[in-house]
Chain A
């Protein structure tokens, strides 16, 4: 292998597994250290800068960072990154003074944002400090999009959402709520300099052709419509026996909400085997904890109605068969259909986009799936002044993806309005700073603790099932948060090697607890990964290969299970190894926090 080019910022970025996996590249270990230092406000602002909704995300994020977390490779469970974020949000001081200044003199450019979900709000947050004038349109009564209409209050209290939406709208965004946009042409004609479409994927899939669908209609609900009707107080009850169709997170929210609105026997029924259910493991766990059984391999056959009223559903029991390419086919077992009694059915089998309000003669191209053609980097459509982001761009994802796309769209919109190259992106802002404070003294907590992941306490189930607004999770206590924070391995404190200082005493190789380091003369061989002290079988993790040393060997470090314990650097007599903190900031349209935050 060739010597590693560590001047490429992506090399060290990749070592910070959590940050790399986060769509918005939140500097996770940095905020976890700030939590350990009890500086919750600074921890919050580090988050706010990257992901805009730390309080919301600290409760609801899909947390792609956690399966990526290095800790999960050396023991059973990753660091509770997401719930630590909540600790920062819940314990911060007033942050209003740290919010960016908004110029009173505007730059003369007007932007329309359609939809007030996290994608649009992020665009607003990034462009307001630059002096743009922003009109925000949404058909709901307040901002937040699906964070408000879909994510139930027992997972996300309204106060938390309001606070973080307000930080943005209080920047002077002109909000137009209760305002459905039924024509893009109408907006285009208003002469905006740029338009951002962040309307999400608001249409729930139905089973319109299934037998009995029309007859049972008054007791059959589309999951997401039903959830928003609950959120806005229009629906307050449901029948005793409820069937929820679908195995994703929407199904989990539907079944748990049903339990709070009078559902006694709530059953989640999915077509696929359990392993293929899309819901996050923790969402499934929480639903089971609330006494909700799951039935798998049940394909809906009919809604059964008696005297014009829904009484049951009929299912075909199936088995999953896989062909050699792994394609799944659900094959009926031939057993007699299974009848499940019910008073209501919630259909939570997927969401779609709905662009009926976009005229097709505007020059905005749609592809064969009837989705707008959107550039995956700039988020620009084929109508140059129109940009897309969030679920509206490429279909339903999650809040953090909507935020990440909002940031990128904001950069593009800014460039577009300023006559710059829309595709241009500034390199990420990076710094690499030694953490040495003295001989064998580091400015980070290098010792590795053995603690297993701490459990987040929950409110008593007898209370939470009574009132849909009582938040189930209580969040970590500050003591527990501190202990959980100590589990973080500080992966951003990089092991940095300087060839010319190395005297090849092997001390680093000998001390490394996880056998990451090997001096070898076989560094040019293809099977290098098998010729290290411990085989480097995780191909997603890089090898850090030095220039050849004096003895014609090279130093090879497998990044996979490095604990960032700093022992290699402590045992190095010449400081050829150093522990250096790597800060990586995605460049945004604006640096949105004030100095000193």
Chain B
């Protein structure tokens, strides 16, 4: 078993706009099971951050507990990180984001971490529209504790244990839509072509960006009768669209056939371009997104891709009207403006 990755990289490794190679975005070698979907998602995050030329020190990674929540160790080794308690990542993220709005927040959670113990916290971080990327690495089980069915496991799905899940599943994408999330997507760890642009768009989004990534647990939930195994997911996947993410500064060069593509300009000026595969669905209409998800579920299909985006959303800081400066940089002078100012305030209240 190797505990270290060799230091050598491809001699022709390209560098991004700020002079970093992909190596600068890697973390330590994964200790997850070989073939775990979560590792592919980590690779997707590394690629997305590299492509976006993000300075690693500007990112904070947050997670709860679970195999999925362990993954921040395996990417962005030069970024900040906080591995919190089970299901409590949203409140830690909220605190961190309130203290320093200038960082990019990437939250990584599992279906157990989010849909069971952390379900309450999840609801609140969604409705507050905290500016972060929230990813659920969804394998339909509690991987870390040896594969018990999780709340996202489909009715009838069988994990390695062999017993069919008797309960109704929680669909996190529908929940997020319902609770007012301003960016909602679903993807699959085995489809990086789709996942990477979604991660980039989610990072560019100002507000709460949720991606539910189906991520097979090879050890406990990749058996034939599971609805979260590699083959089943591949066979039942249906995409709303193909998505291209065009960063703000990049010139738009590819031309699309008239009518086939929709463009959404994000808050920061970057552009999301969809090539719609699904008619009667509008990525900027929450109800059509909910209908599309429902419709696919009815047919036993898994709808992926970008489902809904509100590019002009107001994030928590805008809602509560905090100062532009990160709160953690406010000094005593900013916070205690002195007697004169206090008098003025008191006066205004008399």
Contact = CB atoms under 8 A, between A and B. Distances in A.
A447 B8 CA distance: 11
B5 interface: yes
A73 B12 CA distance: 11
Interface stretch (A194-202, A407-415, A559-567, A586-594): A559-567
Contacts of A447: 2, 4, 6
Interface stretch (A22-30, A122-130, A467-475, A509-517): A509-517
Contact of A571 (B4, B35, B216, B222): B35
A338 interface: no
A206 to B, nearest CB: 47
A440 interface: yes
Interface stretch (B39-47, B113-121, B131-139, B274-282): B39-47
A26 to B, nearest CB: 25
Contact of B230 (A504, A510, A561): A504
B10 interface: yes
B35 A505 contact: yes
Interface in B1-60: 1-2, 4-13, 29-30, 33-37, 39-40, 42-43
Interface in B242-299: none
Contact of A515 (B2, B6, B9, B218): B9
A74 B13 contact: no
A567 B1 CA distance: 9
B190 interface: yes
B6 A507 contact: no
Contact of B8 (A448, A505, A511, A534): A448
B192 interface: yes
Contacts of A441: 1
A506 B190 contact: yes
B9 A507 contact: no
A509 B35 CA distance: 11
**Does more than half of chain B's interface fall in helix, strand or loop, or is it mixed?**
loop
A513 B40 contact: no
A439 to B, nearest CB: 8
B12 A573 contact: no
Contact of A506 (B7, B40, B234): B40
Contacts of B12: 534-535, 537
Contacts of B6: 447-448, 513-514, 563, 565, 567
Given A515-B10, A535-B12, A561-B10, A505 B230 contact: yes
B43 to A, nearest CB: 4
Given A515-B9, A561-B10, A446 B2 contact: yes
Interface residues of B, number: 32
A572 B40 contact: no
B39 A510 contact: yes
B7 A507 contact: no
Nearest to B234: A551
Given A506-B190, A551-B234, A570-B34, A513 B8 contact: yes
Interface residues of A, number: 37
B36 to A, nearest CB: 8
Nearest to A514: B10
Most chain A CB within 10 A, of B5, B33, B189, B218, is at B5
Contact of A505 (B1, B10, B30, B216): B216
A503 interface: yes
Contact of B190 (A73, A504, A570, A572): A504
Contacts of A462: none
B35 A573 contact: yes
A570 B2 contact: yes
A507 B40 contact: yes
B34 A571 contact: yes
Interface in A37-81: 73-75
Contacts of A507: 34-36, 39-40
A74 B2 CA distance: 20
The 9 lowest CB-CB distance pairs between A and B, nearest first, are A573-B35, A448-B6, A510-B43, A440-B1, A534-B10, A505-B35, A573-B34, A573-B218, A515-B10
Given A503-B35, A565-B6, 6 more contacts: A74-B8, A510-B42, A511-B29, A551-B234, A567-B5, A570-B2
18 contacts: A440-B2, A448-B7, A503-B35, A503-B218, A506-B40, A506-B190, A507-B34, A507-B40, A510-B40, A513-B5, A514-B8, A515-B9, A534-B10, A535-B12, A551-B234, A561-B8, A570-B2, A571-B35
